[in-house]
Structure 1
């Protein structure tokens, strides 16, 4: 047999060379292999693609065409070789590729033989190779200035094959790459379930933009068994940008300014709102309180216009002027003719005292607070009163807000969830435009001078304690102006306010008799309550498991070594293991650890809910923690941090921050909507803030994953434990939703850090037809139960302006 070179062209990261094989007989395609050899003896396995492979099995033609795909490494010379795989030292064909000649030849091909170039270019995207496939699936920021590259590779299954990832630069030099294996599965082939495919999901950290790189997944015992993919700098940048867009949350959306301008109220709508509001017989009086201190004339005029043009007209504007003699303020105030405006001149004391002057002068049923240099939308009061009319028990309200730049551009929108106590305990996310009822105000003390700068936080916390109902008004109604002296631009402009906020939050816990110490975090105006028990409750850690001693031992060793919390027990719930090594390990565990008990679930098959319920029956703790055997504790504070939330009686379930082995976030809470649910902030860097800083601060969410799910024992018993009709899927989410429905909070705790090697124990259900069918049945049962409730709760955890089916908090366009 003879081999000659035909059409040659370059593509994106790969080159393509058509080969003509003469004298080939029978079914010989699978016996040939190809590789690229680089100076120094580096071998990169290449792929052969046979466009007419099936037809040739019955054809008598003596010649065949095959396309060889190889990496484009322009910093070195490649020797492309075709060999008989059975005798790899028998080279059948060699073709040398050098950068400049290959570029010239490729350009000539595209110019003179474009049709032939199109026929072979990207053939790897159209045909399957006999020896495997590799592709980059994402490149993500790690939150520390570096990147994390994710890729997948698949090969015909060989039981004894062991694969390793090698990374080369454009000169073929190996790069130091610490590979993380995220998944390594044997799965049925998509088009023929009788054939098995080896699929790997790999990750490699990169210090930054590395230039051209070649990623080669290669068998350790057969260098020709492997697959490669090659990224040129533009390709690398394109993938990085795609992944950045995938994770970019609403506050960073560059199209927000246009979004707002296209959705804010029109003048015609304002007139209709005035007509509607004029017919409300029970319309409340709204007192808008604003403290003026040497406000720039332009800002003050714009503030006044924004209030006076409200479509809801039953309001008074109370201006507490503590500026003293100030031309910019005095000039504007002398021009006021509107009887709805009252100016109160007062001595400048603390901002808390100044605000209290306005509160005492107010006549309204509700009081709203605006800053002297900000503006509100003309339908702001109308939207608030509409919410009050629909929910008459409301005592505290707030809206969505953004920032208004000096150039007149709107940016950094914050679309807020419904009342979220744990987020509020991290920072004052309510902020603007705070409105409270006279009913609530009459029950609380006004803010003292020592919380000046955080008086709005103090007032919100106090009113939240007595409020009958708290409502978010999901409209963008408040614009927080950015200028050199504003807190929105410069948190250091009010350094005293940091301690004031901490003090306000500490007093909130003290009033509620919750044992907590509030710490100020490094970030300005950010806090962390440290809950403490006089008598720490016992935590029962229930771990369902079947064989996989390697996973279980890793999980337990990390738990024993990295758990500072003292009073806990481990209930290993055995589920039909078969490996004798498993039972030997159980005996060793119980000999060496007096707080470990192994119990055997008497059922057959796999029913996660039943197994966990069985384990819980053998638990003696006041708090239950259901933990997967494929998790690994990272931070020793994890258990104490999670358990601490149960000092608050309203907390029912607590979940942890789970990471992939490469440091990206696997679980940051769970979003749940009709017909769908998934993890929040998935694939973000562990050090990233996340939307509304939800990756770094506790917040209340719809659900958390069962991989690390803590629940108060009394709540677990009250709601009947896990639903055993949900054998495998959504039982953890269902448990959270039933706890929520019973009036408890589900809290995500970012300070509880663990790795989670998801799918390590059981694999993917979709790979097995029977498991896939069962999963669909359970999903249907789950959504039939919860869809109506989920529709009613829309906006509770995810603002209604955000995509309810995306865990990265995207604006709905």
Structure 2
């Protein structure tokens, strides 16, 4: 009714209804179910896409991988830049130091242009013309300097070599950081921006990136994909190389480059940096930011063309170790810029070699006889762990072998449990170091134990040392272990010929790794006790050595793969393999234990000794992760 005259309106009364609570609840449930169906459909679509075979990436087609990587790198850095613009930006002046001596005109122009193309703007480029007396080079430098005042030119009247020219540039630098740059190489356009951001985020004083090579046709190849800071590897080669950026105050403390090391002046500089910086102040930027020009006369093509660089490298490593007061001998490996270090300390701490066995008399006897025959190291003893042997000839062997004063036997009548057997033996050992050895490992090198103990003695923070193990056909069985969620653990360069160098010298050079196999592993006794030894409850057979190594690494110790320590391993001759049906359940449970225990640990998520670009579950140092899937 309309007031005030009470006139009835058309369409009245209005009749409606309201949903009760049960009906409203059902509407919400249906809506949620529809949302879940949409989510599942989207997930199924993605799974279908993933099931479509993709062409994988390997080092063999690195150029294809790299072009995709660089596109994605630019996008990622741009996104980070937008975020930083909303906050206070860190924009220190970076001095880019470039000694110049008669470069190829086109390469030199491209090099300078790559600096001009940097997304980071606060830089100065210091070009030091090392008395090249090239009219073309001088003209190019002057034209660039006129074009951009950030380009500074210093012309020397007398040629002083690359070390001297770089030193002149160092003295002229006005930036907070300096970056080293060769006159014919190329910077990726986001290189300085990424390095500066990393310096700001980490507080590192010296930073280095990954790099690759570029040939005259513009083809990307031969990437040097690097581990996080790896001091032992650095003694064997200058893996750090390009791009290196260092805090200027630190650079002044390190001092000038010296012509005594021409050809290895950058290696010497980084080694000297380790003398004034802690490992935490040296940071690996895990991005490929530098292209090393591959020209017919460059070391990028053939280092053998520059024997002076090899000699300088040997000298700089040897001098560094002298300054550190570490007794050693340094030599070139096969006439290359790869260096072997022999530790020459005369002290011989005590070592107990622990060998579990069950019957298999011929194998065990060969293992023990080889140790007794070939080992020149004096201060050692052997503990054999008899795990329920039953054959008469084995029991006779046990009685006879103990006539040797260096050999004792422990009998453990329990089901096979590798972890427990070794823990029992360690409890009875009184030595400074323990060596875990499978009874199917045969040593032949008289200095094998010297080498392993030497690696552990050289530095107090070394907790364990592994060896290079070979199959009987002289192919590699073990050269260190890489870890990760995709495959838990994998042996590096497995199956490669002994004569091969491995990726950037990995099988020839001793270096830090995240894990080594207990088929032949030396562990500092105090460290073994500190971390609780092997896990004899959840990891009775598989992965117990990897778990032990991860515990050692987590406790702050380093683990060294000793490339010079070589032995033959008739793998699993003693107990068989894990891929038999009767072992599947146990192996699955041990795999799950490792994943549950270590999946959230940074050491396991991204192995610091293994470049993030390579897969763990495929061929190591060969198969590449799709750039879209990089962590």
The Cα shift of 1:353 comes to 2.0
2:267 is aligned, of 449, 457, 474, to 457
Q: Higher strand proportion, which one? A: 1
Distance 1:673 1:268, change over 3 A: closer
- Bigger relative contact order, structure 1 or 2 (CA pairs below 8 A, ≥6 apart): 2
Structure 1 residues 269 and 572: alpha-carbon distance in aligned structure 2, compared to 1, 3 A threshold: closer
Residue equivalent to 2:568: 755
What residue is the counterpart of 2:215 in the other structure?
Answer: 405
Counterpart-to-counterpart distance in 1, 2:617 and 2:368 = 35
- Among candidates 571, 574, 582, match of residue 394 of structure 2: 582
Unaligned runs of 5+ in 1: 1-247
Question: Aligned pair 1:743/2:556, yes or no?
Answer: yes
Corresponding residue for residue 396 of structure 1: 206
Give the 3 Å change call, closer, same or farther, for CA 441–334 of structure 1 in structure 2.
closer
* Cα deviation 1:585-604 (Å, max 9, x = unaligned): 1121121x221111223x62
Equivalent position of 2:35 in the other structure: none
Distance 1:736 1:453 in 2: 37
Per-residue deviation, 1:507: 2.2
Match of 1:637 among 447, 451, 454: 447
- Cα offset for 1:637? 2.4
Structure 1 residue 768: deviation in Å? 5.4
Structure 1 760/271 Cα, relative in aligned 2: closer, same or farther at 3 Å?
Answer: closer
Q: What does 1:308-457 align with in structure 2 at a 5 Å threshold? A: 308-335=116-143, 336-337=145-146, 338-346=148-156, 347-392=158-203, 394-457=204-267
In the alignment, what sits opposite 2:503? 691
Q: Secondary structure at the match of 2:254?
A: coil
Taking the aligned partners of 2:79 and 2:526, their CA distance within structure 1 comes to 52
Task: Give a deviation string over 1:584-628, Cα, whole Å, max 9, x none.
Answer: 11121121x221111223x62122111111111222321110000
- Whether contact under 8 Å (2:195, 2:285) holds in the other structure is yes
Helix, strand or coil at the partner of 1:598: strand
Q: How does 1:109-128 map to 2 (within 5 A)?
A: none
Residue 523 of structure 1 corresponds to 335
Change (3 A) 1:722 1:798: same
Displacement after TM superposition at 1:570 (Å): 0.8
Matches of 1:767 and 1:265 in 2, distance apart?
45
Deviation at 1:795, TM superposition (A): 5.1
SS of aligned partner of 1:425:
helix
User: How far 1:481 sits from its partner (Å)?
Assistant: 0.9
How far apart, CA to CA, are the structure 2 residues paired with 1:399 and 1:795? Answer: 17
CA distance in 1, matches of 2:256, 2:334: 29
Kept in 2: contact 1:703–1:746 (CA 8 A): yes
By how many angstroms is 1:319 displaced? 1.1
Aligned to 2:199, the other structure's residue is in SS state helix
In the superposition, relative to structure 1, how do residues 439 and 560 fare at CA in structure 2: closer, same or farther (>3 Å)? same
Q: Please state how far the C-alpha of 1:673 moved relative to its aligned partner.
A: 0.6
Question: Which residue does 2:113 correspond to in 1?
Answer: 305
Q: For the Cα contact (< 8 Å) 1:515–1:533, is it kept in 2?
A: yes
Query: Which residue does the alignment assign to 1:260?
Result: 66
Matches within 5 A, 1:650-661: 650-661=461-472
Residue-by-residue CA offset, 1:363-417 (whole Å, 9 max, x unaligned): 222211011111111011111122223212x122112212111222111112111
Q: In structure 1, the residue corresponding to 2:523 is in which secondary structure?
A: strand
- In the alignment, is the contact (CA less than 8 A) between 2:313 and 2:337 conserved in 1? yes
Name the structure where helix makes up a greater proportion of residues. 2
From the superposition, tell whether residues 795 and 672 of structure 1 become closer, same or farther in structure 2 (CA, over 3 Å): closer
Q: 1:218 matched to which residue of 2? A: none
Q: How many residues align?
A: 560
Q: Residues of 1 paired with 2:88 and 2:149: CA distance? A: 21
Unaligned runs of 5+ in 2: 1-55, 627-631
Kept in 1, the 8 Å contact 2:310–2:335? The answer is no
Q: Is 1:564 matched up with 2:372?
A: no
> Which sits farther off after the overlay, 301-310 or 323-332?
323-332
Question: Does the 8 Å CA contact 1:444/1:463 hold for their aligned counterparts?
Answer: yes
User: Per-residue CA shift, 1:533-581, capped at 9, x if unaligned?
Assistant: 2312222111111211111001111222222322221111222222222
How much has 1:441 moved relative to structure 2? 2.0
- Residue number in structure 2 paired with 1:175: none
| 1:774-809 C-alpha deviation (Å, 9 max, x unpaired) | 333232222211111147751512212211323422
Is contact 1:322-1:354 (8 Å) kept? yes
Q: Name the CA distance, whole Å, in 1 between partners of 2:468 and 2:591.
A: 25
Deviation at residue 439 of structure 1 after TM alignment: 3.9
Secondary structure at the residue paired with 1:788? coil
Q: Does the 8 Å CA contact 1:395/1:463 hold for their aligned counterparts?
A: no
Deviation, structure 1 residue 720 = 1.8
- Give 1:746 shift: 1.3
Contact 1:369/1:433, CA 8 A, preserved across alignment: yes
Distance in 2 of aligned mates of 1:448 and 1:664: 41
Give the conservation status (yes or no) of the 8 Å contact 1:672–1:790.
Answer: no
d(CA) in 2 for partners of 1:410 and 1:782? 38
Distance 2:293 2:194 in 1: 21
Query: Residues 774 and 368 of structure 1: is their aligned pair in 2 closer, same or farther, counting only changes over 3 Å?
Result: same
SS of equivalent residue, structure 2 residue 549: helix
Q: CA deviation at 1:765?
A: 4.1
Alignment map for 1:591-670 (pairs within 5 Å): 591=403, 593-601=404-412, 604-646=414-456, 647-670=458-481
Please provide the CA RMSD for this pair. 2.2
Q: Could you tell me whether the CA contact under 8 Å between 2:485 and 2:604 is conserved in 1?
A: no
User: If the length of structure 2 is used for normalisation, what is the TM-score?
Assistant: 0.84
Alignment of 1:184-195 (within 5 A): none
CA apart distance, 1:270? 7.5
Partner of 2:97: 289
Residues 488-544 of structure 1: per-residue CA shift (max 9 Å, x gap): 123244322222212211122223222222112223211111112231222211111
Q: Give me the whole-angstrom Cα distance separating, in 2, the residues matched to 1:450 and 1:791.
A: 39
Cα deviation, 1:108-145, whole Å, max 9, x if unaligned, reads xxxxxxxxxxxxxxxxxxxxxxxxxxxxxxxxxxxxxx
Structure 2 vs 1, CA of residues 513 and 280 (structure 1 numbering), >3 Å: closer, same or farther?
farther
In 2, the alpha carbon distance for the partners of 1:295 and 1:678 equals 44
Q: Which whole-Å CA distance do the structure 2 matches of 1:375 and 1:487 have between them?
A: 16
Residues 736, 270 of structure 1: alpha-carbon distance in 2 compared, 3 angstrom cutoff: closer
Structure 1 segment 78-93 matched on structure 2, within 5 A:
none
**Matched residue of 1:264: which SS?**
helix
Matched, 1:538 2:350: yes
Contact 1:671–1:807 (CA under 8 A) maintained in structure 2: no
Distance 1:268 1:473, change over 3 A: closer
